[in-house]
Amino acid sequence: MDYFVRDSIFLLVLGVVLDFSVGAMPVSFSEEFEVTSREDHVRIMADNYSVQLTLDRNGDARFASKHEYMFGLVSAKIKLVAGDSAGTVTTFYLSSDRDIVRDEVDFEFLGNRSGQPYTVQTNVYAHGKGDREQRVNLWFDPSLDFHTYSIFWNHNRIIFSVDKMPIRVFKNNRVKLGVPFPNNQGMRIYSTLWNGDQWATRGGLEKIDWSKAPFHAYYKDFTIESCRVPINASCPSNPSNWWEGTIYRQLSPFQEKLYRWVRVNYMIYDYCTDRFRFPVPPPECTAGV
C-alpha cells in the first residue's frame, strides 16, 4: 500500500481531534489586517474573511495585523501555490518587528517542483536569537484545499499545528536552562507570498519558473484568541486565560503519539541534530517536549 494512502487511513481511523481553541469565530480581514504590499497583489474577497495573494515579476504580496498580541492562539486556513511552486515562499507568522531584540514565531511554506511534497519550515526567534529551523514535509497536497495552520503560545510553550496536529513544540526553558523565550513583548501577525528562490527549494538549486506566474496563495477564516497589547496591558499575565490552563502545559499522551508520528515519518531537518552548525547541541534540544 502506498505510504500516503496508508497514513491517510491511519489518520481517518484515529479520528484526530486536537483542539487548542475554545471556538472563536473568524475575524473580519479589513477590521484586523492591513495590506503592506502593492494593493493589486492582495485581493480581499467579497465576504471580507478571505484573501488572495499574488506573486509575479512586479512584486510580492504582504499583509499584517493592525494590532500586537501576546499569548493565546492564532490560526488561518491556507491553500498554497498550486503546480510548479519551486522558489516560492508562503508565510504565516508572528513578529515583534524589532531588529535587535526581535521575537518571531514562523510558519514558512517552501514550494517545490510539481509532484514533490511541500515543506513546512518553522523557526523561533527569542530576544533576537534565531537559528532554530526545523522542516517537515506535509503528508497531503496543501494546494488542493484549505488546511488549518495554528500557533499556540502560552508561558509554558509554543506549539505549531497543522490541522490541529502538533508538528513542533518549543518549550520555555528560560529559567531552567537560560534559553530565551518570547514572553515580554507583543507580536503582530504577518503573512506573505514572496520570491525565496535563493534558498527555499533544494537550497536554492530550484529557481522560480516565471512562465508559470502569476502564483497565488489563499487565506481565510483567521482566528485570534489572544491579549491585544498595549490596550489590555494586564491580560498577558492573567492566569485565568484559557490558554494558561493546566491541560495546556503539556501534550496529552495521545497528542504526543501524533507528534511523534509526524516527526518520525515526515521530519527532514532538525537544527538539534545538525552537527555541522552545532557541534554541541543547543541546550533546549535535550529538554524534551
Residue 288: predicted pLDDT? 65
**104 counts as catalytic:** yes
Identify the active-site residue in 32, 68, 104, 225.
Answer: 104
Q: How many CA within 13 A on the CB side of residue 61?
A: 26
Q: Please pick, among 31, 32, 39, 108, the residue that the annotation labels catalytic.
A: 108
Mean per-residue pLDDT, 180-199: 96
pLDDT in tens, 134-163: 999 999 999 999 999 999 999 999 999 999
Distance CA 95, CA 110 (A): 19
Placement of cell 507568522 in the chain: 93
Q: Over range 36-58, report the average pLDDT.
A: 97
Q: Which of 180, 213, 179, 194 is nearest to 88 (CA)?
A: 194
Residue 56 — left, alpha, or beta (φ > 0 → left; ψ -120 to 50 → alpha)? beta
Provide the domain limits for residue 16. Answer: 3-286
Determine the pLDDT at residue 289.
55
The candidate with the shortest Cα–Cα distance to 150, out of 158, 138, 135, 160, is 160
32 is catalytic: no
Q: Using N-to-C axis directions, what is the helix angle for 253-266 and 3-14, rounded to 10°?
A: 170
**pTM, whole model, 2 decimals?**
0.92
CATH number at residue 157: 2.60.120.200
Averaged pLDDT, 164-191 = 96
Is the per-residue pLDDT at 52 higher than 70? yes
Q: How confident is the model at residue 110 (pLDDT cuts 50, 70, 90)?
A: very high
Q: What is the pLDDT of residue 286?
A: 82
Q: 191 is written with which cell numbers?
A: 503573512
The total number of structural domains in the chain stands at: 1
